[in-house]
Structure 1
Amino acid sequence: MQSRLMPLVVAASLVAGQAWAQPAPIEGTWLSEDGKLAVEVAPCGEAQCGRIAWMAPKAGRDEPRLDDENPDPALRSRPLCGLRIVEGLQPDGNGGWRGGRLYYPKHGRSYSIDLSPLPDGDMRMRAYLGLPVLGRTETWSRASAPLPACGEPAA
């Protein structure tokens, strides 16, 4: 009897292991830890990418915010709203996403980025240069309500 059950136990554990390793869904809109930026993540080819969907307005400024810290002078006049800042995220086999790049307009630099799901549905975002230990981690939360159009103040 035990020898007949063993293949079923092995098969069930393999299926359970594959289900566990499925990447956490990241499509949708995510708010940065400080709540001043929303990134809309969607498929782009074989990977997942993200664009700025909303930014908190800067105090005393009504004009659109530009990519004025970009190292390429030709790109400094492009608006930040709608700008793709996350590229190339791939499933890592452990439920998270790896191998992406994050463009950080405030510094005009790009960083490696990894995303890992948290038990509460939030996402741990790690951006780094070279080695993950040389970086910064913050928690991104899924937007729970529709946000205003990019460039408009939140209600």
Structure 2
Amino acid sequence: MKKRIFASLAAVAAMAALASPALAADPISGRWVTQDKDAVITIGNCGSSVCGKISKFLETPPQGADQRDVNNPRKSLRSRKLMGLPVLTNLRQDGEVWRGDIYDPKSGKTYESIVERTSANRLSVKGCARVIVKVCQEQTWTR
């Protein structure tokens, strides 16, 4: 009897161990509307990390739907389209948060990013710059 209980507990533990990585693998994936409600960012796997790409404009950019990355400081990147552009890159899970980089096409600047799922339908997205101390600006994105 004890062997059967132990075997059952071992089987449950094994299933839980296998299920945990699947549940924790990508809790921020999906389609998210930016705080300004101007775009939809689709977050998902991009090779060995997670990224977020502009997948839809909710507000047409100044130069139309074919808007280019004109504010990029690297001249060679200014001709790429904003649609499909990765704005969240190199995201890796660090406990309850995801850390990586966030690119702001409006300013052409890249910041350190911290992304945290605060509820089933909300993400806290922070962009942080180091001047003397770390200064962060936070937005809330919704499903």
Tell me the TM-score normalised to structure 2 length.
0.74
CA distance in 1, matches of 2:46, 2:120: 26
Contact 1:23/1:92, CA 8 A, preserved across alignment: no
Q: Secondary structure at the match of 2:130?
A: coil
Which protein has greater RCO, CA pairs closer than 8 Å, 6+ apart?
1
**What amino acid is the match of 1:108?**
G
Provide the aligned length of Structure 1 versus Structure 2. Answer: 123
Question: Is 2:28–2:116's contact at 8 Å kept on the other side of the alignment?
Answer: no
* Counterpart Cα distance in 2 of 1:62 and 1:34: 17
Displacement, 1:40? 0.8
| Deviation (angstroms), 1:137 | 0.1
Unaligned runs of 5+ in 1: 1-11, 143-155
Deviations 1:101-151 (A, max 9, x none): 111111111101011121353011111113884121000111xxxxxxxxx
1:88-111 CA-to-partner distances (Å, cap 9, x unmatched) read 111112x2212x111111111110
The whole-number CA distance in structure 1 between the counterparts of 2:44 and 2:120 is 21
Structure 1: 4+ residue segments shifted above 2 A:
130-133
Which residue among 55, 60, 82 is the counterpart of 1:57?
A: 60
1:6-155 equivalences in 2 (<5 Å)? 22=24, 25-55=27-57, 56-58=59-61, 61-62=63-64, 64-93=66-95, 95-98=96-99, 100-119=100-119, 121-130=121-130, 133-142=134-143
3-state SS, counterpart of residue 76 of structure 2: helix
Residues 24 and 117, structure 1, Cα contact 8 Å, conserved in 2? no
Contact 2:35 2:140 in 1 (8 A): yes
Contact 2:35/2:139 (<8 A) preserved? yes
Alpha-carbon distance in 2 for matches of 1:109, 1:42: 22
Give TM-score, length-normalised by structure 1: 0.69
More strand by share: 2
Amino acid at match of 2:140: T
Show structure 2 runs of 5+ residues with no match.
1-12
Deviation at 1:42, TM superposition (A): 1.1
Q: How far apart are 1:24 and its partner, in Å?
A: 6.2
CA apart distance, 1:81:
0.5
